[in-house]
């Protein structure tokens, strides 16, 4: 197929291939194809569809298919719960599939989930008949490869990213054109607590380290502390605006990476338009399949891999909850354990879990035991470094009692005595620790 002979249809025409009972994949984050989503929902409003399963990772922008009125029409079974669908999941009108981010692509490739229709966004085709998935490769590439029908929105605002993001137009069945700007992600400025956490994390990062960081203010606070570092690399599931100044100053150059030397590797992006502009036609950035970026054994090939991820709650033995507390679902398993496992096996690597010591309401996030129903994402067997605003402690190789003592030292001072008492009750009278 050349760039001259593809036929464009309207979004309404394109989504006619969706049938009741189908499984539909949406490209993620900034690349959610809103014009196709709206057209699909219009068919739902008209009573033309029922029992359509919607799958995706984190998405930005509206997610109308999760609304209560579509119960029985659309079933949201996402691989990650973003802010735009969280209330619907908590209310039971939507759901999610707990799975390691690295394995989301296997759901399609190994046939656990049938992909009937993949709805994606791509950049305009080049002279060789290739388009780019831009900011969303993740599990989207697997969906494209296995779908019965692929609908692509050709959008001039999708960056022409390299790596496995580049696909031939022959993989696409239906073309739509729409130039709606990509959805930007908005991050709040780090608080004073988050800045302290960022400082403690930065002190653990060595020159030549290869970085993975999750989503939010803490990663940006960490990156802001790295201006005097040298030869840092990026192998991550996502990155945002915080890396750009470090690339421009030469701090991030990938010179010490074990694989993809000199390249920044990611599978999806969340950020401002500056990030999308940065990856456009940039050979320094490889947008890769999530089975590549989040493979723990590939991650471990980069020396000094340093993975920094957040949590909702940690108990005094080092069990990490990062997806749900009781009936409240906040995100999903994501890529945390992929990188914790990979970083811990990297030569000189560090796996770090970082979070504020208390919630916004002053409740300790370090708890005697996890809340009932809390999901354990990183087990205490995988736990290495833990960071709050009060410092960093390494739990690796420590006994349960030693872990409790270390975790209490980085808890909020107002809660240390209660945690010490809980540890005493759990471990018996031989547990002795004087709170400072």
357 and 208 in one domain? yes
Q: Per-residue pLDDT for 117 more than 80? A: yes
DSSP structure string for 237-256 = S---GGGHHHHHTTSB--TT
Higher pLDDT, 258 or 84: 258
Residue 123 pLDDT? 98
CA–CA distance, 395 with 316 (Å, rounded to integer): 11
CA–CA distance, 217 with 226 (Å, rounded to integer): 15
pLDDT tens string 366-412: 999 999 989 899 999 999 999 999 999 999 999 999 999 999 999 99
pLDDT tens string 240-262: 999 999 999 999 999 999 999 99
81 and 150 in one domain? yes
Q: Is residue 184 part of a domain?
A: no
243 and 168 in one domain? no
Q: Which residues pair with 387 in a beta bridge?
A: 354, 392
Q: Per-residue pLDDT for 436 more than 50? A: no
CA–CA distance, 412 with 402 (Å, rounded to integer): 18
pLDDT tens string 19-57: 999 999 999 999 999 999 999 999 999 999 999 999 999
Q: Which helix (H) or strand (E) holds 280?
A: none
Q: Is residue 2 part of a domain?
A: no
pLDDT tens string 200-242: 999 999 999 999 986 778 888 999 999 999 999 999 999 999 9
256 and 118 in one domain? no
Looking at 111, 146, 177, which one is the last position of a domain?
177
82 and 204 in one domain? no
Residue 327 pLDDT? 67
Q: Which residues pair with 233 in a beta bridge?
A: 210
State mean pLDDT over 275-302. 98
Burial (CB count within 10 angstroms: exposed 0-12, middle 13-18, buried 19+), residue 397: exposed
- Can you read off the two tokens belonging to residue 383? 């736990």
Q: Name residues whose C-beta falls within 8 Å of residue 388's C-beta, 6 or more positions apart in sequence.
A: 197, 200, 354, 355, 356, 357, 366, 410, 411, 412
Helices (H), 110-184: 140-146
Burial (CB count within 10 angstroms: exposed 0-12, middle 13-18, buried 19+), residue 387: buried
Neighbours of 432 (CB within 10 A): 11
Q: Per-residue pLDDT for 328 more than 90? A: no
The structural domain count of the chain equals 2
State mean pLDDT over 88-100. 90
Neighbours of 9 (CB within 10 A): 14
214 and 170 in one domain? no
Q: Is residue 183 part of a domain?
A: no
CATH code of the domain in which 338 resides: 3.40.1080.20
Q: Is residue 82 part of a domain?
A: yes
Q: Per-residue pLDDT for 152 more than 70? A: yes
CATH code of the domain in which 143 resides: 3.40.1080.10
Neighbours of 72 (CB within 10 A): 11
Say how many CA atoms lie within 13 Å of 105 toward its Cβ.
Answer: 20
Residue 199 pLDDT? 97
Q: Is residue 367 part of a domain?
A: yes
CA–CA distance, 426 with 417 (Å, rounded to integer): 14
Q: Is residue 84 part of a domain?
A: yes
273 and 342 in one domain? yes
421 and 392 in one domain? yes
Print the domain residue range for 54: 11-177
CA–CA distance, 398 with 404 (Å, rounded to integer): 9
160 and 199 in one domain? no
Q: Is residue 435 part of a domain?
A: no
| Strands 324-325 and 328-329, sheet pairing | antiparallel
207 and 163 in one domain? no
Q: Is residue 377 part of a domain?
A: yes
Which residue's entry shows tokens 């008949």? 129
CA–CA distance, 64 with 45 (Å, rounded to integer): 11
Looking at 143, 177, 211, which one is the last position of a domain?
177
Residue 232 pLDDT? 98
228 and 347 in one domain? yes
Residue 421 pLDDT? 94
Looking at 177, 202, 233, which one is the last position of a domain?
177
Q: With H, G, I as helix, E, B as strand and everything else as coil, classify residue 148.
A: coil
Average pLDDT of the chain to the nearest whole number? 94
CA–CA distance, 2 with 4 (Å, rounded to integer): 5
Whether 237 sits among the annotated catalytic residues: the reply is yes
Residue 132 pLDDT? 98
- Can you read off the two tokens belonging to residue 55? 């799958």
65 and 120 in one domain? yes
Active-site entry in 60, 194, 237, 420 = 237
Residue 3 pLDDT? 54
Higher pLDDT, 353 or 428: 353
Neighbours of 149 (CB within 10 A): 19
Q: Which residues pair with 152 in a beta bridge?
A: 120, 175
Residue 36 pLDDT? 98
């Amino acid at each position: 197929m050349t760039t001259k002979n593809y036929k464009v249809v309207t979004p309404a025409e394109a989504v006619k291939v969706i049938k009741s009972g189908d499984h539909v994949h949406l490209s993620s984050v900034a690349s959610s194809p809103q014009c196709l989503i709206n057209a699909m929902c219009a068919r739902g409003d008209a009573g033309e569809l029922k029992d359509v399963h919607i799958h995706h990772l984190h998405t930005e922008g509206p997610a109308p298919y999760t609304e209560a009125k579509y119960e029985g029409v659309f079933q949201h079974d996402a691989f990650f719960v973003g802010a735009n669908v969280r209330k619907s999941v908590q209310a039971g009108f939507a759901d999610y599939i707990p799975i390691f981010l690295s394995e989301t692509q296997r759901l399609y490739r190994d046939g656990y989930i049938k992909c009937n229709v993949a709805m994606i966004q791509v950049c305009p085709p080049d002279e060789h008949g290739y388009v780019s998935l831009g900011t969303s490769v993740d599990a989207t590439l697997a969906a494209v490869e296995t779908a019965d029908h692929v609908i692509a929105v050709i959008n001039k605002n999708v960056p022409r990213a390299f790596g496995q993001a580049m696909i031939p137009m022959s993989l696409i069945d239906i073309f739509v054109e729409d130039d709606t700007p990509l959805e930007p992600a908005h991050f709040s400025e780090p608080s004073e607590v988050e800045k302290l956490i960022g400082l403690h994390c930065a002190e653990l990062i060595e020159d030549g380290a290869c970085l993975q960081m999750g989503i939010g203010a803490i990663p940006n606070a960490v990156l802001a502390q790295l201006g005097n570092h040298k030869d840092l690399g990026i192998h991550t599931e996502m990155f945002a605006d915080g890396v750009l100044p470090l690339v421009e100053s030469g701090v991030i150059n990938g010179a010490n990476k074990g694989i993809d030397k000199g390249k920044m590797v990611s599978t999806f992006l969340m950020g401002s338009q500056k990030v999308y502009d940065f990856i456009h036609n940039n050979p320094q950035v490889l947008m890769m399949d999530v089975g590549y970026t989040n493979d723990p054994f590939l991650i471990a090939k980069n020396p000094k891999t340093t993975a920094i991820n957040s949590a909702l709650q940690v108990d005094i033995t080092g069990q990490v909850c990062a997806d749900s507390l009781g009936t409240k679902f906040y995100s999903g398993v994501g890529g945390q354990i992929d990188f914790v496992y990979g970083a811990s096996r990297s030569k000189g690597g560090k796996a770090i879990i970082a979070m504020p010591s208390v919630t916004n309401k002053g409740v300790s996030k370090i708890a005697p035991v996890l809340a009932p129903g809390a999901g354990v994402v990183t087990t205490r067997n995988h736990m290495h470094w833990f960071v709050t605003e009060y410092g960093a402690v390494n739990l690796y190789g420590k006994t349960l009692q030693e872990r409790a003592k270390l975790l209490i030292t980085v808890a909020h001072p107002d809660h240390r005595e209660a945690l010490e008492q809980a540890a005493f009750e759990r471990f018996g009278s031989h547990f002795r620790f004087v709170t400072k």
